[in-house]
Amino acid sequence: MVDQLESEVIAIIKNRVELESGDGGTAALIVSDLTLATELTSLGVDSLGLADIIWDLEQTYGIRIEMNTAEAWADLQNVGDIVAAIRGLLTKEA
């Protein structure tokens, strides 16, 4: 069962991937089936694309996501990792 935060984060990621792919090809097919288990690499998201997604999420939720270490980047492998990171930050600020 997908909760509201998961739905919102998935929508933000879908929007960014669709904007950046623009070709309507493989990425578009994968984006239509985006789940928490979807690997970011399968979406064609590189480090710059991930930075754009992070920026979108920071703006949406009014949070700061620290991504200056290689370990932080390595921890974000799939959509579920991003949702968990956002949830953790929102819980800290509540």
Name residue 39's beta-bridge partners. 78
> Residue 69 gets which letter from DSSP?
S
Residues in the chain: 94
pLDDT value for 20: 77
Give me the architecture of the 4-93 domain, per CATH.
Answer: Orthogonal Bundle (1.10)
pLDDT digits (tens, 9 = 90+) for 36-80: 999 988 888 777 888 899 899 999 999 888 777 666 667 888 999
**3-37 as b/e, with b when 16 or more CB fall inside 10 Å?**
eeebeebbebbbebbbebbeeeeebeebbeebeee
pTM assigned to the model? 0.82
Extents of the domains making up the chain: 4-93
